[in-house]
Amino acid sequence: MILRNSRQTDAAMHVAHPPSDAVTRRDGGSLAGLAIAILATNGVEEVELTDPAAALRQAGARTVLVSPQSGEIQAMEADVNPTNRYHVDMQVGQAHAHDFAGLVLPGGTTNPDHLRMDRDAVRFVREFVQEGKPVAAICHGAWTLIDAEGVRGHTMTSWPSLRTDLTNAGAHWVDRDVVTDGMLVTSRNPGDLKVFCPAIVAMFASAHAASHATAAQMPQGHAT
């Protein structure tokens, strides 16, 4: 079980749960067999957590909610309205990029502000950057990328208030609904999810295909 809603109302279940693996993996999917980390903590914008997870699972991936804390995290709507609580699958202190094919950083103002102050969370994000693995960030999610030294030289977007911080960190900020630059996909706000979700699926699939192609071209050792 990946993203589990602790409130059992019908409405909440409809919002929070992507289709089951039995349905999403019927045709394999472009991300079949891949594990994608979603890094979040209390204050995460709920729709920026659930919509990407649903899109990734629809493509066949297994999403893993990673957080500094154990137990559950509290999601929010527009930073002020508590919504549902979500089960944490793995604490970030035990998480490493080499176990995942990609990383998603949802927003919400307080969520990334807490993450960027957590040493293990920053280390985890930095590992993806250093290993050249794909990262997707929406809204305020890009904030943590600054501390992980993952924005310099990139063209990217975000919630408008991050523009100065990202520019000062060496990024080229643009006002677009979605920007793909190398192994980084970014979007501005929940209204961009309709283009952000397909873009992250496409990037993760492309990165996976490229890594397989590279591995296939490597010379094989010979027994002596």
Answer yes or no: is 115 within a domain.
Answer: yes
Answer yes or no: is 222 within a domain.
Answer: no
Residue 184 lies in domain? 10-217
Pairing relation of β-strands 172-173 and 155-156?
parallel
197 is catalytic: no
Choose among 78, 191, 208, 76: nearest CA to 138.
191
Answer yes or no: is 151 within a domain.
Answer: yes
Answer yes or no: is 3 within a domain.
Answer: no
Answer yes or no: is 119 within a domain.
Answer: yes
* Per-residue tens of pLDDT for the chain, all 224 residues: 344 554 433 333 333 333 333 333 434 578 999 999 999 999 999 999 999 999 999 999 999 999 999 999 999 999 999 999 999 999 999 999 999 999 999 999 999 999 999 999 999 999 999 999 999 999 999 999 999 999 999 999 999 999 999 999 999 999 999 999 999 999 999 999 999 999 999 999 999 998 766 655 656 654 44
Answer yes or no: is 4 within a domain.
Answer: no
Q: Give the list of residues 6+ apart from residue 100 with CB closer than 8 angstroms, or none.
A: 35, 36, 37, 64, 128, 133
pLDDT of the residue at 41: 99
Answer yes or no: is 18 within a domain.
Answer: yes
Domain count, the chain: 1
* Domain harbouring 18, CATH code: 3.40.50.880
Catalytic choice (88, 121, 139, 205): 139
Answer yes or no: is 122 within a domain.
Answer: yes
